[in-house]
Amino acid sequence: MRQVDVAIVGAGPTGLYAAYYAGFRGLSIALIDALPEAGGQVTAMYPEKLIYDVAGFPVIRGRDLVANLVEQAAPFDPQYMLGVRAEGLSYEDDKPVLALSDGSSLQCGAVLITGGLGSFTARPLPAADAFTGEGLVYFVPHLDDLAGHHVVIVGGGDSAFDWALSLHPVAKSVTMVHRREKFRAHAGTVTKVQALPVEIIVNAEVTQIHGDGQVEGAEVVVRGQDPRRLPADTVVAALGFTADLGPLAEWGLTLDRRHIVVDTKMATNLPRVFAAGDIAEYGGKVRLIAVGFGEAATAVNNAAIVIDPSAHLFPGHSSDNG
């Protein structure tokens, strides 16, 4: 059974920053994530999205933020265990032991859960049930993959409008289809997209994907009108996702719906188990990446003195150590 000082469950931005901070504190680190790449929801869902509320960056692309966080943690050589789920939690000699989906076990001085919203699954596009070819996607990891494509985006939320805004400069055409007149997306983003030569079809649904092995078009029905076929090389189904805690829900953690309740130390009700980022819940919680960074530092510092009672809660400033 392998051993590590801190096992971080979730390799999104909060988990990556926690890996840096744990390394800064001289702790060994394992980063565990069911996704095949570091970055969590940022990498999986909006790597090209521009983020404006991370301190010190007037604007930064999601992919670049993740790359910077990976680089920041790299000097401390964290173990990346990607494509692996933390399935079970037990204790041995009062220390947490994680049972992993690859059949291995990991004994930890402390566990820090930074799993965002837990595991998430894209909501399917009903019209695509009979389509088995390529060109139907739920996320757009690389914008350049759709360069020169006719793109149809289904949905009216933030992801749909973010992708419309990002894809417009590279795609041959972008058409949005939404089943209602009102949008869930941020009003400012909607206004930006409405100012572009992007057709937005409302009160409509995609009823069929055309193509044999590859998307060649999408049939759209506007309420009260005849079907219309749109040119399409790619259909982006931005219909949101469902999230759940998965195996974490069976660990005995105190939960508030899908979130893990923590105290001011970011400690859960279980010994040596902490949580930070979107998955953590306390009074007055604000779910921002910037907040997650602060919570990660708080959690790691409090975990450090649990692991080694002779350690100090505050280790000093990073600038003091060069």
Annotated binding site: 14, 33, 41, 46, 86, 120, 278, 319
The tokens for 246 are 């998965």
Annotated binding site for FAD: 14, 33, 41, 46, 86, 120, 278, 319
CA–CA dist 273, 235 (Å, integer): 42
Name the strand (E) or helix (H) holding 164.
Answer: helix 158-167
- Show Cβ contacts of residue 18 under 8 Å, excluding neighbours closer than 6 positions: 6, 8, 112, 114, 276, 296, 297, 299, 300
Phi, psi of 235 (to 5 degrees): -115, 125
CA–CA dist 274, 95 (Å, integer): 13
CA–CA dist 37, 14 (Å, integer): 15
Name the strand (E) or helix (H) holding 207.
Answer: strand 204-210
